[in-house]
Structure 1
Amino acid sequence: MAKKVFFSFHYQDVIDFRANVVRNHGSFKLSKQDAGYYDSSMWEKAKKESELALKRLINTGLKNTSNTCVLIGTDTYSRPWVRYEILKSFLKKNHIFGVHINSIKGKDQHTKTLGRNPFLDVGVTFSEDGKKVTLWEKINTEWVEFTKIENKSTFDNPYNINDDRKGEGFSLSHFYSTYDWKDDDGYNNFSNWVN
């Protein structure tokens, strides 16, 4: 059975068509089952809404999904709504993975160098007892608490963690994998990356 996937991306990568290649690759397969996902993004409206409305759209888009795929372009790592979507997905316990899309030719028929992994710039710390988790983001070179979800940064930890993680902090790159659409043959392997 196909899983529902939420796609997180920088809107510029839609304009340049790179994000569309991944999001729409299932259209060329016999069925959504073959593609390995159902698209739950709501990006068409996202740019026109207020902050509260954007949060509602993202939260609605994430509802009933089990996977979050971050499409990694040149500036994806710095986009505040991508960070929101990643950390909200973490709290929701979605399976999260990244797909580098700069190897895909854009509408200008050129590729780009690999974009920075956005999982390096968001992170978590676990309380000493492991019952709480605090969300963080890196601004320039400094880690600051991420308070855009419910106007707070600390939540009940939705995960069971090992003792060696209690009281420790990690960037999310410690937990989540990234793939390259071209080098890792995303057209044929995307359904294997979905959990």
Structure 2
Amino acid sequence: MARRVFYSFDYENDCWRASMVRNIGVVEGDQAAKDNTWERVKQGDEAAIRHWIDDQLNGRSCTIVLIGARTADSCWVNYEIEQSLSSGKGLLGIRIHRLLDQHQQESSAGPDPFATLTLPDGRQLSSIVQTYDPPGESSKEVYAYISDHLEDWIEAAIAARQR
């Protein structure tokens, strides 16, 4: 049975790469916000953006953070991680910087967003959330690796949260 997941990512820099991962098809992901929808949402105040994110997270069993060059700097990605954690969703990260964008360019690897967030006991969130850095020399190899392992990574993240 396909899991319903939420994809969290830096929209400005990684929308193209994120759409590649969402199109893998082994899970039921959130529908990509059309450019005009996201532009309208982000023009709202913070409460409206939070409400939209909360609606998108509703009914999902896992949040997949697609990590690019600036993902850790996004206050909205951090909010999505915090909401996912507080609601008991599985959480995992996948580095996507080696997937090509619409200009056929890779990007630089950014910091792990889970390393910048702390748990109530003071540990970094990265101590309990797995981040995957898919191997491969080319974008095609990285994509194939993600495709081959995504379902297992999701199940592992959900199982880890249930413990």
TM-score normalised by L of structure 2: 0.81
Q: 1:71 to 1:39 in 2, by over 3 A?
A: same
Q: How many residues align?
A: 143
For residues 97 and 39 of structure 2, the distance between their equivalents in structure 1, rounded to whole angstroms, comes to 22
Quick one: percent identity of the two aligned structures? 30
Decide which of 31, 40, 46 is 2:30's aligned counterpart: 40
- The aligned counterpart of 1:76 is 71
Cα distance, 1:41 vs. partner? Answer: 4.6
Q: What SS class does the counterpart of residue 81 from structure 1 fall into? A: helix
Cα distance, 1:14 vs. partner? Answer: 4.1
TM-score normalised by L of structure 1: 0.68
- The aligned counterpart of 1:175 is 128
In our comparison, the structure showing a higher alpha carbon Rg is 1
For residues 25 and 100 of structure 1, the distance between their equivalents in structure 2, rounded to whole angstroms, comes to 15
Decide which of 89, 95, 107 is 1:94's aligned counterpart: 89
Higher normalized strand content (fraction of residues): 1
Contact map agreement 1:104 1:182 (CA 8 A) in 2: no
1:160-182, Cα deviation, whole Å (9 max, x unpaired) = xxxxxxxx311110110111245
Q: Which runs of 5+ in 2 are unaligned?
A: 137-141, 156-163
For residues 151 and 3 of structure 2, the distance between their equivalents in structure 1, rounded to whole angstroms, comes to 9
Q: What SS class does the counterpart of residue 178 from structure 1 fall into? A: strand
- The aligned counterpart of 1:131 is none
Q: Which runs of 5+ in 1 are unaligned?
A: 27-34, 126-167
TM alignment of 1:3-152, pairs within 5 A: 3-15=3-15, 17-26=16-25, 35=26, 37-41=27-31, 43-44=33-34, 45-49=37-41, 50=44, 51-125=46-120
- The aligned counterpart of 2:147 is 187
Cα distance, 1:113 vs. partner? Answer: 2.6
Q: What SS class does the counterpart of residue 43 from structure 1 fall into? A: coil
Cα distance, 1:13 vs. partner? Answer: 3.2
